[in-house]
Structure 1
């Protein structure tokens, strides 16, 4: 049962310091969920970091390839205060929002408290990946079940 609304899409930002691991995984899983649920007109995805790395961590690329998601062509990018002010929900990966960006935004913030995969063995990165995937799926369940403009 789908509800139609004139409401604009919801913008979600997945943010961490380097934008080279957890936030890249979260954004990739979010894009997959958005496609699977045919919600391209309802969910907009932004990802970035406050001090982006030069490249996505190789072990993260490897772990995502194991679940048929190719992020090898992704490049960490800086997220700007203006971008954060324009989103409905900022999801940080294990660093509080105040650490990520002192800017204020109008939307909600959640911190997922995930371990940083950088420098960890693939077995641990798989666990982090699976946790990211479960949280993204749960987030989409929540966002897409909410009635429009519910107060």
Structure 2
């Protein structure tokens, strides 16, 4: 892994789960990790409920735009976290892959998305502790 790890979060629409995870990792790593997100079938905009629940926790993802998953994005990442995108993510030797089973927040209410957000935050905190074990506060 490179000195400054690169993490790619991938979900189908790149409008909810992957955007929330990228938002948390960018905020919590304070620039110590390069963070990207993409989707196999990106939507036109971020899920407004995802934006709202992240803002409740002090993380602004409102300015983000869903992006299409590319082979180059995977090649350029040290860690690839998939979230329900199945076999659409290309696999390359030497990359660290994880699949996070998370409910898709599309069409859910704020109250239903908050637990998904909290689960994502905990997973991102765990990932950050693995990536930067000497710099993460307990």
Q: Same fold (TM over 0.5)?
A: yes
User: Of the two, which has the highest radius of gyration?
Assistant: 1
Alignment of 1:109-128 (within 5 A): 109-128=97-116
2:12 to 17, 26, 29: 17
Q: Which deviates more from structure 2 when the two are superposed, residues 15-24 or residues 82-91?
A: 82-91
Please, which runs of 5 or more residues in structure 2 have no aligned partner? none
Report if the CA contact (8 A) 1:86-1:105 is conserved: no
**Number of residue-to-residue matches in the alignment:** 132
Q: Tell me the C-alpha RMSD between the 2 structures.
A: 1.4
1:87 pairs with 2:74: no
Report if the CA contact (8 A) 1:59-1:125 is conserved: yes
What TM-score, normalized by structure 1, do the two folds share?
0.82
Deviations 1:3-51 (A, max 9, x none): xxxx53211100111100000000000001111xxxx3x4211111111
Alpha-carbon distance in 2 for matches of 1:145, 1:134 = 15
Alpha-carbon distance in 2 for matches of 1:57, 1:139 = 24
Report if the CA contact (8 A) 1:95-1:113 is conserved: no
Q: How many Å apart are 1:105 and its aligned residue?
A: 2.0
1:27 pairs with 2:17: no
Please, which runs of 5 or more residues in structure 1 have no aligned partner? 1-6, 147-151
Alpha-carbon distance in 1 for matches of 2:60, 2:3 = 29
1:65 pairs with 2:55: yes
What TM-score, normalized by structure 2, do the two folds share?
0.89
1:49 to 39, 58, 61: 39
Q: How many Å apart are 1:133 and its aligned residue?
A: 0.3
Q: How many Å apart are 1:121 and its aligned residue?
A: 1.3
Report if the CA contact (8 A) 1:87-1:105 is conserved: no
